[in-house]
Amino acid sequence: MSTSGDTFECGHSLEQLSNYLDTGEFSDPGHLPDCPECQAGLASLRRLGELGDELVTADLAAAGNGTDDWMQSILDNLRLELRPGRDIPVHAGTAGDILTETEGSISALIRSVTDSHPGTAAGKCRLDGDVGTPGAPVTVRVDVAVVFGHPLEERAAALRRDIAAALARHTELNIAAIDVTVADVLEPRLQGAPAAWTSRPPQPSEETP
């Protein structure tokens, strides 16, 4: 899996994490257990690898080498989102205390919920709205890639349901809407064409939770 070399706040990059998963080598191995952003990146790359395994197992195409457009798009978004981001307040039980969640931790949670669905990988994942103000309406926007053969409407509905449940449990955000867009359907080309993945046009599916 190849990625470009943008670095996180900690100074490491998605490419280094990918190399670590491939080879077990990392310039500063002691850093990994102490860095939540790198941990989230490793978890996402492992789930992407599992999706690639599913594709290969299906014998539909050689996917997962990081050069496919859909996977590159996912990696590009990962690179952007594996950062702490904004602080999301949590109600403190004692005056003067400051309790927060990072936007990055919630984005990673949404990714994890999305990727836990078979044949599904999260692409762009955004929290739109003033997440720093308690009660302000926030819209979740998630782009997903789905392996051919999985029912798209059912998948989108299930994702909205599970993301809504996870956010209700683990945040105090006022979620106004969860927009799930199937941005890629990973399917083989027609008979006679070289085996490769192509993408159907996006199929937005929006619903208020």
Partner 1 sequence: MNQPSASGDAAQGATAAELREVILAVDGVTEVYPARPLWQTIAGAARSAVTGDPLPAVLVEFAGDTAHVRTRIGVSGARPAPDVARSVAGAIRAHLGPRPATVQVQIVQVRSEAKPAGEST
Per-residue CA distances from 194 to 51, 108, 189 (Å): 21, 35, 7
SS3 182: strand
Our finding on whether 158 is near partner 1 (CB under 8 A) is no
Least spacing, CB of residue 161 vs partner 1, in Å: 13
**Cβ atoms of 120 and 157 closer than 8 Å:** no
Single residue of 22, 34, 153, 207 touching partner 1 by CB under 8 A = 34
Q: Does residue 46 touch partner 1 according to CB under 8 A?
A: yes
Q: Which is nearer to partner 1, 73 or 171 (CB)?
A: 171
CB of 23 to partner 1, least distance (A): 17
Q: How far is CA 178 from CA 48, 151, 156, 201, in A?
A: 22, 19, 10, 20
Q: Which region among 60-68, 73-81, 113-121, 143-151 touches partner 1 (by CB under 8 A)?
A: 113-121
Total residues at interface with partner 1 (CB under 8 A): 40
Q: Which of 24, 25, 59, 96 binds partner 1 (CB under 8 A)?
A: 96
Token readout for 151 is 């029912």
CB of 184 within 8 A of CB of 204? Answer: no
100 binds partner 1 (CB under 8 A): yes
Q: How far is the CB of 63 from partner 1 (least distance, A)?
A: 18
Q: Can you state the angle between helices 69-81 and 36-57, rounded to 10 degrees?
A: 170
Helix (H) / strand (E) element for 167: namely helix 152-170
Q: Which residues bind partner 1 (CB under 8 A)?
A: 33-37, 39-40, 42-43, 46-47, 50, 84, 87, 90-94, 96-102, 104-106, 108-109, 112-113, 115-116, 166, 169-172
